[in-house]
Amino acid sequence: MSNDDQRQARHQRAMEKLKSHVDERVANANEERGQLLILTGNGKGKTTAAWGTVTRALGYGYGVGVIQFIKGEWECGERERLQDDPHLQVVTMGTGFTWETQNRETDRQACEAVWQDAERMLSDPAIYLVVLDEITYMLKFGYLDIDTVKQAIDARPVEQTVIVTGRNAHRELMAMADTITEMQETRHAFNNGLKARRGIDY
Ligand code: ATP
Ligand code: MG
């Protein structure tokens, strides 16, 4: 057998093994329901990945709700691009939030107001995907109560998926999640003095 033939035979054996492993895992994954995904960690990519999934769901014509808990009046390229889609609802916290407002009471009220929209989405079976972007900070600052959030997520329609983003996700939310991805910061341009870029960072 030539070297090429030996290599081909080895490759074929490896692929057969891989295929039977993958087939077995596919056969075992037979539960179908909406899921809870948490995108957390200090690295870049949490909100980007959430919007990527929003686009994916909209691509099939599913209803999607996005709540932006922090980005107030900030620009957001994905929102610009997608907001005319009739299947998408986006609710953004009205105030310029936290380090800009520094007023706990008005921030808490702003949070409470968008949480009403979140609760409405979390009980609407026509919404296939709900994104709670940066909600982890609301829990951290004590503007939202963990039990209230857990209950709303728990009681959502069976087919509905929820994506939670933000650093330092609450351990009780982590305990409920089906998928948790921790973005790890290996390096970030910002730490070398590079300014956030329009269309790349927001
Ligand atoms: P992105 O929106 O780019 O996916 P993210 O959601 O993972 O980022 P956030 O903490 O929400 O991260 O980031 C808010 C802003 O800060 C974004 O403009 C993002 O690009 C930027 N950013 C993300 N990670 C870091 C980091 N480790 N250091 C500095 N800035 C960051
Ligand atoms: Mg983010």
75 has catalytic annotation? no
Given the residues 48, 55, 98, 101, select the one marked as catalytic: 48
Confidence (pLDDT) at 131: 98
Per-residue pLDDT in tens (0 to 9) along the chain, 202 residues: 899 999 999 999 999 999 999 999 888 888 999 999 999 999 999 999 999 999 999 999 999 999 999 866 778 999 999 999 999 999 998 765 556 566 788 888 989 999 999 999 999 999 999 999 999 999 999 999 999 999 999 999 999 999 999 999 999 999 999 999 999 999 999 999 999 999 999 9
The protein residue with its alpha carbon nearest to ligand 1, atom 23, reads 44
Tokens of residue 200, six digits: 């790349």
48 has catalytic annotation? yes
- The H or E element that residue 162 is part of is strand 161-165
C-alpha 165 to ligand 2 mean position (Å): 6
CA distance 140 to 157: 26
- The answer to whether the beta carbons of residues 92 and 148 sit under 8 Å apart is no
What ligand 1 atom has the least distance to the C-alpha of 46?
7
Confidence (pLDDT) at 151: 98
C-alpha 46 to ligand 1 mean position (Å): 8
- The H or E element that residue 39 is part of is strand 36-40
Confidence (pLDDT) at 98: 59
Pocket test of ligand 1: the residue of 40, 42, 44, 187 to mutate, having most ligand atoms within 8 Å of its CB, is 44
- The H or E element that residue 157 is part of is none
Given the residues 42, 106, 168, 179, select the one marked as catalytic: 42
Q: Could you tell me if residue 72 is left (phi over 0), alpha (psi between -120 and 50 degrees) or otherwise beta?
A: left
Residue with tokens 């070398």: 192
C-alpha 66 to ligand 2 mean position (Å): 13
Question: What does DSSP assign to residue 148?
Answer: H
Tell me, what amino acid is at 54? V
CA distance 57 to 36: 15
The protein residue with its alpha carbon nearest to ligand 1, atom 17, reads 201
CA distance 136 to 151: 16
CA terminus-to-terminus distance, the chain: 56
C-alpha 135 to ligand 2 mean position (Å): 10
CA distance 112 to 138: 10
Confidence (pLDDT) at 97: 57
**Alpha carbon 133 to chain centroid distance?**
7
Q: Which ligand lies nearest to the CA atom of residue 132 in the structure?
A: 2
Confidence (pLDDT) at 145: 97
What ligand 1 atom has the least distance to the C-alpha of 51?
4
- The H or E element that residue 181 is part of is strand 179-182
Kindly write down the DSSP assignment for every residue of 54-76, as one continuous string: HHHHHHTT-EEEEEESS-TT---
Question: What does DSSP assign to residue 12?
Answer: H
